[in-house]
């Protein structure tokens, strides 16, 4: 396992190229699959729909988490009036 990961890390450029190629294959497969069982109109008529959906949803979630975190959701432990937890006796 560690050797495989080390090999992949050593060939980062090739890994990136393979990833881009895979993305292209996934997106291109849109034109080769029967989508008449899709549930909604957009799935049937918007090319690469799930690619856009996946990217867009991930971007929106990252943006929402960032905004909420900066809005005060992420804060120090003193907000609950407790000290930061220390290590337990077993660990």
Q: How far apart are CA 19 and CA 25, in angstroms?
A: 10
Token pair for 29: 């497969």
Per the CB < 8 A criterion, the answer to whether 60 and 52 are in contact is no
Q: E strand or H helix at 46, and its extent?
A: none
- Length of the chain equals 91
The CB-of-63 to another protein minimum distance in angstroms stands at 7
The CB-of-34 to another protein minimum distance in angstroms stands at 6
* Positions that interact with another protein (CB under 8 A): 1-2, 5, 22-23, 26-27, 29-30, 33-35, 37-40, 43, 48, 50-55, 57-66, 68-69, 72-77, 79-83, 85-91
The CB-of-39 to another protein minimum distance in angstroms stands at 4
């Amino acid at each position: 396992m560690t050797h495989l990961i080390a090999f992949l890390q050593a060939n980062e450029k090739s890994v990136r190229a393979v990833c881009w190629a895979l993305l292209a294959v996934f997106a291109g497969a849109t034109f080769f699959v029967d989508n008449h069982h899709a549930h909604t109109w957009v799935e049937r008529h918007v090319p690469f729909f799930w690619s856009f959906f996946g990217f867009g949803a991930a971007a929106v979630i990252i943006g929402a988490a960032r905004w909420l975190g900066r809005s005060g959701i992420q804060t120090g432990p003193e907000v609950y009036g407790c000290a930061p937890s220390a290590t337990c006796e077993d660990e």
